[in-house]
Amino acid sequence: MAVAHRTRHDGVMPVSVYLPVLFLIVVGSYLAWFRLDGLSERIRTGRWGLLLPILAVIYAAVSIPRYWFGFMVVSGACLIMLFRPRTATRLVPYGLLGLGLIEVVVARKASYGSIMFAGFQPPYLVAGAGGPGLAWFEALLCLAAGGWLFLRLRAPGSGLAEQTAHRLWQTRTSGILRGQEFLLLLPIVILLGLVAVHGAPGVALDVGAIAAALVMAFRFRLWAATLAAAGLLVIGGCGLHWAVTLGYGPGRWYGLAALGDHTFAYAGLQGLFLIALGLWLTPRVIGEQLGLPGKELAARAEQLTVRVETLTQTRSDAVDTAAAELRRIERDLHDGAQARLVALGMSLRAAEKLFKTSPEAALALVSEAKESSSKALTELRDLVRGIYPPVLADRGLADAVRALALDTPLHTVVDIDLPGEVEMPVGSAVYFAVAEILANAAKHSGARTIRIHLSHASETLRVQVTDDGAGGADPEQGTGLKGVERRLATFDGILAVSSPPGGPTIVVIEVPCASSSLKTSSC
């Protein structure tokens, strides 16, 4: 930070004299203490604290015309840095933010041509030659660096600030409201303050307007963005107008350019830039105000379209599967149990007739009838198992899978981690899937051991079946697994097969299954 020393003021020690002295004090004491045990460690832990004396020097130069006071400030900062490094670190962000605010005041003064105040020369580049543009730049730099350090070093109060910012950020909804366009309102308000408000109340008005803009930007984003668009167009237009007509006279500033002198072209450029920004923002704001679909909505619509296609496909599959199931049940009943019951009735009727004339023949027929009823029962039992396995109805999925494992002719290891019960349709689909996988493994794999792992985690029901067989299974061949896949797809479930030649074969089923559908088991 360079220091201007154009003017001397009586009773004030020249900045050029005391600054190097103070700096030597800082460096000297730092080096003197550096080698002392423990201190170097402390300083290392509070590295950012080294900035504190430098800030103190600037403060001394900026705001205090009495050199003894400046000396005290700088010495105090040095002592804090050396003996309370953590405190020094925490003070640095506040020091920077304070400097930033002071420079805002200086820049405003400079903007209105009165750079002298309180009887001394503000020792900034801008005060001498740079003009308010550089003053604003310095102010923004200090505020940005201070803000960053404030959060980075977790200075006191930073937690609260972060929480507040987070809460405000959370209110974002969609479309333009998710972007940061609304933040454009802030420079508009600041520029407006510079252009329109003169004199001492200007700072207070600025602060008030910025606060109002902040509240608006975060609570009513759409209106903030709308105002920003309008502001950009109006102020940009003004800049262009002033640049062309030079109506505002020398000594007035528009943004970073002085009006009326040879830099008026910059004002024009700034105006054009603001208008361009306004033109970019306006259609977005209008689209949002009228409720036209934005990019986000379009993407969402596409997602929904894909989802609807998937649902249509799986629903059609589900309907087909259900119809085929009903057809199979009808055929099984018609050809099986029903036919046997007819035969049974006929045998009994014939036995009834033969009972008096030929009791032995009647007995043989009754025996046949008994056989028939037994077979009908067996067929009905198999049919019921295929519709909804009784053990699944009685005990739920975990025990049904255990029962399946027991009925598998191979050695099985079952590991089940299911803290409740899944919904009936999902449980049924998963049961038949596992049954099909086990049947395939028993038939084709040549495995000795099958491991079944059933678990429920992160809203997903997962079954993994691993066999130590020869591998090389192709899920594309055979209709069994395809059918299983279709049935699982109805519940957005998936089936994956890994079966390299030489094995092992791993089949994984995953079905999304919200924990709400997991009821506490009654056992």
Partner 1 sequence: MRVVIAEDLFLLREGLVRLLQAHDFEIVAAVGTAPELLAALIDTKPDVGIVDVRLPPTNTDDGLRAAIAARKQRPGLPVLVLSQYVEQLYARELLADQQGGVGYLLKDRVFNDEAFAAAIRTVAAGGTVLDPEVVQKLLLKHTSTSPVTRLSPRERQVLALMAEGRSNAAIGQRLHITDKAVSKHAAGIFTKLDLPLSDDDNRRVLAVLAYLES
Which residue ranges make up the site for partner 1 (CB under 8 A)?
A: 370, 373-374, 377-378, 381, 384-385, 390-391, 393-395, 399, 402-403, 406-411, 448, 522
Question: Can you give the length of the chain in residues?
Answer: 523
Q: How far is the CB of 382 from partner 1 (least distance, A)?
A: 9
Secondary structure of 81-135 in HEC code, one letter for each residue: HHHCHHHHHHHHHHHHHHHHHHHHHHHHHHHCCCCCECCECCCCHHHHHHCHHHH
Alpha carbon 327 to chain centroid distance? 49
Q: How far is the CB of 461 from partner 1 (least distance, A)?
A: 21
End-to-end CA distance of the chain: 77
| Burial track 379-408 (b if 16+ CB lie within 10 A, e otherwise) | beeeeeeeeebebbeebbbbbbbbbbbeeb
CA 466-471-476 angle, 5° bins: 95
Asked if residues 496 and 508 have their Cβ atoms less than 8 Å apart, the reply is yes
Q: Which is nearer to partner 1, 310 or 367 (CB)?
A: 367
Q: Is 498 helix (H, G, I), strand (E, B) or coil?
A: strand
DSSP 466-487: EE-S-----TTSSHHHHHHHHH
Q: How far is the CB of 177 from partner 1 (least distance, A)?
A: 53
Asked if residues 471 and 432 have their Cβ atoms less than 8 Å apart, the reply is no
Of the candidates 443, 431, 406, 444, the residue with the CA atom closest to the CA atom of residue 484: 431
Both structure tokens of 346: 């006929």
Conformational region of residue 446, where left means phi above 0, alpha means psi within -120 to 50, and beta covers everything else: left
Q: Which is nearer to partner 1, 75 or 373 (CB)?
A: 373
Q: Which is nearer to partner 1, 126 or 447 (CB)?
A: 447
Q: Which is nearer to partner 1, 261 or 394 (CB)?
A: 394
Q: Which is nearer to partner 1, 75 or 521 (CB)?
A: 521
Asked if residues 233 and 282 have their Cβ atoms less than 8 Å apart, the reply is yes
Q: What is the Cα–Cα distance from 125 to 129, expressed in whole angstroms?
A: 6
The residues near 421 (Cβ < 8 Å, ≥ 6 apart) are 396, 397, 427, 518, 519, 520, 521
Q: Which is nearer to partner 1, 173 or 378 (CB)?
A: 378
Q: How far is the CB of 391 from partner 1 (least distance, A)?
A: 5
Both structure tokens of 467: 């066999």
Q: What is the Cα–Cα distance from 510 to 430, expressed in whole angstroms?
A: 9
**Rg of the Cα trace of the chain?**
42
Q: Which is nearer to partner 1, 352 or 407 (CB)?
A: 407
Q: Which residues on adjacent β-strands are paired with residue 416?
A: 454
Q: Which is nearer to partner 1, 29 or 408 (CB)?
A: 408
Q: Which is nearer to partner 1, 63 or 373 (CB)?
A: 373
Q: How far is the CB of 473 from partner 1 (least distance, A)?
A: 21
Q: How far is the CB of 408 from partner 1 (least distance, A)?
A: 8
Q: How far is the CB of 438 from partner 1 (least distance, A)?
A: 13
Q: Which is nearer to partner 1, 282 or 373 (CB)?
A: 373
Q: Which is nearer to partner 1, 172 or 395 (CB)?
A: 395
| Burial track 328-343 (b if 16+ CB lie within 10 A, e otherwise) | eeeebeeebbeebeeb
CA 109-111-114 angle, 5° bins: 45
Q: How far is the CB of 342 from partner 1 (least distance, A)?
A: 19
Q: How far is the CB of 344 from partner 1 (least distance, A)?
A: 12
Q: How far is the CB of 383 from partner 1 (least distance, A)?
A: 11
Q: How far is the CB of 511 from partner 1 (least distance, A)?
A: 23
Judge if the upstream peptide bond of residue 390 is cis by omega within 30 degrees of 0.
Answer: no
Q: Which is nearer to partner 1, 252 or 451 (CB)?
A: 451
Q: How far is the CB of 369 from partner 1 (least distance, A)?
A: 10
- Spell out where 213-369 has E strands: 253-254, 257-258
